[in-house]
Every structure is written in C-alpha cells, then in structure tokens.
A and B are shown apart, each in its own frame.
Chain A
Amino acid sequence: MESVNDIKEALSARSRTATLDELRSEGRRRVRLVRAEQIAQMIQEAVHSAVEQSGLIAQEEVDALVEKSRIEFKSILREREAEVQKAHDVAEALAEREAELTELKARFAEVSAALAQTRQQLAQAPAAGGGPSGDMVMSLMQEVANLKASMAHPAQPQVAAAGGGDFSAAIEKLTGTLNDRLEKLGKKMGVSAAVESDAPVDFGGLFRDADKQIESNMANIEVKQKSGGGIAGNLARLKKLKGGG
C-alpha cells in the first residue's frame, strides 16, 4: 500500500499536469495512460526477478512475498472499484438534487408572486370592499415556508457528505436568502413564517380519570335554559358575504 502511495507521490513530484487542450496544442493527439498501480506492479515484478536471480532470498520467502503482494493488490483494487462506484452514485444523486432544486426555485417564484399579490390585495381590502382572508395569507405563507423547509433539508444528505460540498454550500446560501426574505415578508404581513406541525395535540389522556364511572345525581338535575333571538338573519348575512346567497 505504502509503495503504491510512494509511487503516486513520486510521479506527482516528477510530472506535470496538462489539460487535453494544452496537449492538443503541443501536437499530441493521443496519449498513453498508465496507472500508478501498474507501475508499482512492474517495479515489484522487476524487484522480484532481481531478488530471485541474486539468490539472496530463499524461493519460499520470495513466494510468500509474492502472495502477500497479490493480496495487497486485490485489496487495493477492491477499494478503488468501490470508490468509482461511489463517485458514480454521488454524481447521479447530485443531478437529481439539481433538478429538484430547479423545480423548487420555480415553485418558490410562483408562490412569492402570489403572496405579493395577496399582500397588495390585503392592503387595499377595506377600500376595495373585500379581500382575501387571513387564512388565505396564512396558507400562502405556510406554503412558502414548506418550500423553504424542502430546500433546506435535501432528502439525501450523503450527497453533501460524499463530496458535494459546493452543492451543499449553494443550498445553504439559497436557504439563508429565502429565510431572510420570508422573515421580512412575514414581519410585514404580521404572519409568522414558522413551520408548525399539522398533527393535532391529543390531550385525551388527561381525561382518563374523568372517564371513570362517577357517582353523581347530575342526570336527574334540570339545567337552566334561556331562550334567545334566532340566528337566521346572521346566517343569511354570512352566506351573502361568502357569496352563497
């Protein structure tokens, strides 16, 4: 292992890096490629041959060294193959995330535009004689916040961990910008941009004792009742306001 690394370092130190365009400009159309592992193998074979011919080491020891080298080589090969596969997976995941991000950006732009329009309508509501409800504004804010949350928490965090550092930084930057804009917008609208869980809180457990059979005479007691004016007029007005009457 160390020998291969040493060879890689030695090659790096004694070689230069050139782009394909540079090579082309030097008149080179084809280049021959050789892996550091292959060079290491050649050196090992050369050393093995030299040692064998020198008679300094016994044949058994030479065989043992060869076997050890073979195992070491296979291990290195497997590692490299795994790295190649991982790089391939990362590239695929990155492409997927980029497509998703593009889609989210487009959706965010749509929702932002709708929110701005709603905000404008809300500001003009009393003069215009009608306007969107607080629920509607809240719903839009919630949608924007959900989008923000989607962009802030990519589905596969290993992408960033496996080398997508730039991508991760881009998302963080974008999220930061969105956060700032949402907070400013939310403050102006008087609506919180915080994302809350939709799951209702169930306090039913608190009434476990209340469910027990309790001795009481409540069933036989008449409760005070009052009569009041009807609500038909109120309902008719409300329906009219809601556009149903």
Chain B
Amino acid sequence: MTQHQNHNQSNADNGSDTAIALGKGLDVGTANLAAAVQNDEGGITVTVERNAFLDIPSDVYSKNMLTKLKVPYIVHNNKLVVIGEAAFELANVFGRETRRPMSDGLISPNEQDALPMMKLIISKILGEPRVPGENCYFCVPAPSLDVDNNVVYHQGLFESLINKMGFTAHAINEAHAVIFAELAENDFTGIGLSFGGGMANACIAYKSIPCLSFSVARGGDWIDKNVANVLGCPRSKATHIKERGIDIRDPKSREEEAVAIYYRSLINYVLQNIKSRFESGQNMPSFNAPVDIACAGGTSMVGGFIEVFREEFAKIDFPIPVGRIFRSEEALTAVAKGCLVAAAIGEG
C-alpha cells in the first residue's frame, strides 16, 4: 500500500501517526509566503518566498542577466518583474522600494496588478496537489481592533486562487495555527501570537477550540515605516537593518536604537490590547491553571524579542495567570506548520 492510499480527505482517521498524511499548509503573510508539507523523513518541509516584487525596464540584456543569475522574473505589461527575495535584494542595491501585494495582513487595494505574481509564487511554493482536491489550509487574519479591514474579500480571493490550483482550500485563523503548531503539549490550550509583517494576531484557545481571536494592524512593516521615517531612508533599508541580526536589548547604533524603540512599542501595544480585550470582553474563558503564551511570526525573530516581550509583560497587570512565555523555535514557519497540522487532521 502506498503512503497516500486510503488517506484522501479523511486524514483524521489515519491510525498511524508516523505515516505521511495528505494536506498542505500555507501561510499567506504580508512579508513572506510559506508552504508546509510532510516529508518522507517524518519531518516537514517548508518552502518560503518573500511576498514582494520589483519592476525594472525590460530589455534583452537585463533578461539574460536575470536568467544567468537564476533570479525569478516574469514579463508583465512589457516590464520585467523580479519576484520574491531577489526583488528585496535588488531594491536594497538600487535604493528603491519593493512593491508589496499585501499590506496590513490583507491583499493590498493599491496593487491590483500583483495577483498574477502572487499566483505564481504560491503555485511555486505549494506545488501540485498530490491527489485531486487535496486539503490546503491557509491562514487568514482575525478581524482587526484598530482598523476597518475586509477579511471576507481577502479570504474569498485566496480560497478561489487555491481551489483553482486543484486543492480544496480551507481558511484558518493565523494565531490559531500558531496554537496548533506550538501548544500541543498543553492540549492546545493557551495564547498564540503571530507577529507578522502587516499585523499581530492573537488567539486564545481552550483544548484547540478558539475562544477569542483578534488582530492589530501593526507588525514588522509598522516598525519599518517608523524607522524609515525617523532615519530618512527607504523602508527596504529599514527592513534590512531589522533583519541583519540585531539584538533589540543591546542596540549598537542609532539605526538599531530606532528599531529597538519601535519593537518595544509594538510589543507593548499588542500586550495592552490583549489585556484590554480580556478585561472587557464577554464569553472569556476562565482558566484554572496558568496558560502558556507562544509567540511566532517573522517579526518575532529579531534577537532579544522574547526577553523584551517578557519585560513588557511584567509591566502590565495581566488578567489571567500565565505560565511559560516562549518563542517558537521555527518562528518564521510556525504558522505554515500549524496550517499543515489543521490540514492533516481536517481541523479548522
């Protein structure tokens, strides 16, 4: 019997935990797109690509050069459009801004041209379905507390896109996916936080059931924008400073100081909102034992993040007892992993 036989969409019925279950997980992030799938070794393989592109004038020389350098591009409206990480690197070299298909966690209304690019990137990282209609769970942000955003349109758009690729698309809340990935030992009870490029998402779950989900429209891009404003540089440059391996507890330069300040502000903002939502919300669960907080997302990968998070947490009078506060060991790919767990079990 092959590994895929008899799995089809009833993955939850699979008796063996070591067999490869069907299903793929897709993190549709503002900054990065990541697809997760179980591999033959019992682990997972995550394919990541930056969700950005850069258009440059189209000529034969540039096209040949990009081909030789293995830089991914497409020709769109008579322009060469460099896609993914390469676009980010080129933008830094030329001091330009990358174009971003998404902003604040959702498809950007200012980048309608970006749909073909996103389709190509997603198609590349997701690959073909292994069986027709294979489950693909993709993450969507929760409704935002601080901006009026249209999650329905965003979700419907990606459902259609993924379905057109031959999968059966299912949406799952981004922070709920973090809980699936990181809080298994707690029976999926606790608080999952996803610090993404466009948003920070929070989900409180009890035994895998989400009790409360929300988001705030601040994330890595918000830090970049503010750092770029105070330093007078392009946002891509600010992103580069942030991602070059700094420690926000010990900034070494004026640029790093700016990044550290806005990181602390972002963490404080998210914590204050969780606290406020806990205190004011109805239907809040009352936990008998302290719950863990799991942080994930690309924005949480900066050095010193979890220590600063704990410092800021200690400053507020959090309304429920909290046990461990930790960052996922695979912070960038935790959401995709959580989506994969949901896809493999058919949960959502």
**Interface contact A216-B43, CB-CB below 8 Å:** no
**Interface contact B288-A126, CB-CB below 8 Å:** yes
CB neighbours of A226 from chain B (8 A) = 45-48, 330, 332-333
Q: Does residue B125 face the partner (Cβ distance < 8 Å to A)?
A: yes
Q: How far is the CA of A127 from the CA of B329 in the complex (A)?
A: 31
- CB within 8 Å of A: which B163-209 residues: 163-164, 180-181, 184-185, 187-188, 206-209
Q: How far is the CA of A125 from the CA of B189 in the complex (A)?
A: 12
Nearest CB of A to B149, in Å? 16
Max chain A Cβ within 10 angstroms of own Cβ: one of B13, B125, B160: B160
Q: Does residue A230 face the partner (Cβ distance < 8 Å to B)?
A: yes
Q: How far is the CA of A125 from the CA of B36 in the complex (A)?
A: 33
CB neighbours of A225 from chain B (8 A) = 45-48
Q: How far is the CA of A216 from the CA of B123 in the complex (A)?
A: 13
Partner of A203, one of B157, B206, B285: B157
Which among A24-32, A56-64, A147-155, A206-214 touches the partner chain?
A206-214
**Interface contact B285-A228, CB-CB below 8 Å:** no
Nearest CB of A to B159, in Å? 7
**Interface contact A228-B46, CB-CB below 8 Å:** yes
Q: How far is the CA of A235 from the CA of B25 in the complex (A)?
A: 14
**Interface contact A218-B83, CB-CB below 8 Å:** yes
CB neighbours of A202 from chain B (8 A) = 156, 160
CB neighbours of A230 from chain B (8 A) = 38, 42-44
Q: How far is the CA of A221 from the CA of B159 in the complex (A)?
A: 26
Q: Does residue B283 face the partner (Cβ distance < 8 Å to A)?
A: yes
- CB within 8 Å of A: which B120-161 residues: 120, 124-125, 152-153, 156-157, 159-161
CB neighbours of B47 from chain A (8 A) = 223-226
Q: Does residue B324 face the partner (Cβ distance < 8 Å to A)?
A: no
Secondary structure dominating the interface of B: mixed
CB neighbours of B115 from chain A (8 A) = 206-207, 209-210
CB neighbours of B125 from chain A (8 A) = 223
**Interface contact A232-B159, CB-CB below 8 Å:** no
**Interface contact A201-B333, CB-CB below 8 Å:** no
Name the interface size band of chain B.
35 or more
Secondary structure dominating the interface of A: mixed
Q: A218-B83, A235-B17 are in contact. Are A224 and B49 (CB under 8 A)?
A: yes
**Interface contact B38-A126, CB-CB below 8 Å:** no
Q: Does residue A79 face the partner (Cβ distance < 8 Å to B)?
A: no
CB neighbours of B70 from chain A (8 A) = 217, 220-222
CB neighbours of B248 from chain A (8 A) = none
Q: Does residue A157 face the partner (Cβ distance < 8 Å to B)?
A: no
Q: Does residue B223 face the partner (Cβ distance < 8 Å to A)?
A: no
Which among B264-272, B304-312, B337-345 touches the partner chain?
B337-345
Q: Does residue B282 face the partner (Cβ distance < 8 Å to A)?
A: yes
**Interface contact A239-B345, CB-CB below 8 Å:** yes
Name the interface size band of chain A.
35 or more
**Interface contact A204-B210, CB-CB below 8 Å:** no
Which among A10-18, A128-136, A168-176 touches the partner chain?
A128-136
Q: Does residue B231 face the partner (Cβ distance < 8 Å to A)?
A: no
Q: How far is the CA of A203 from the CA of B119 in the complex (A)?
A: 13
**Interface contact A238-B116, CB-CB below 8 Å:** no
CB neighbours of A188 from chain B (8 A) = 282
Nearest CB of B to A105, in Å? 29
Partner of B164, one of A134, A189, A204, A228: A204
Q: Does residue A236 face the partner (Cβ distance < 8 Å to B)?
A: yes
User: Please, which residue of chain A has its CB at the minimum distance from the CB of B337?
Assistant: A228
A-B contact pairs, 14 of them (CB 8 A): A134-B211, A201-B152, A203-B160, A206-B160, A207-B115, A210-B119, A218-B74, A220-B70, A225-B45, A226-B333, A227-B39, A231-B341, A233-B184, A237-B185
Closest 4 CB pairs of A and B: A216-B74, A190-B283, A215-B75, A210-B116
Point out residues on B near A: beta carbons under 8 Å: 12-13, 17-18, 21, 36, 38-39, 42-49, 66-67, 70-76, 83, 85, 115-116, 119-120, 124-125, 152-153, 156-157, 159-161, 163-164, 180-181, 184-185, 187-188, 206-211, 281-283, 285-288, 329-330, 332-333, 337, 340-341, 344-345, 347
Point out residues on A near B: beta carbons under 8 Å: 122, 125-127, 130-131, 133-134, 188-190, 200-204, 206-207, 209-210, 212, 214-218, 220-239, 241-242, 244
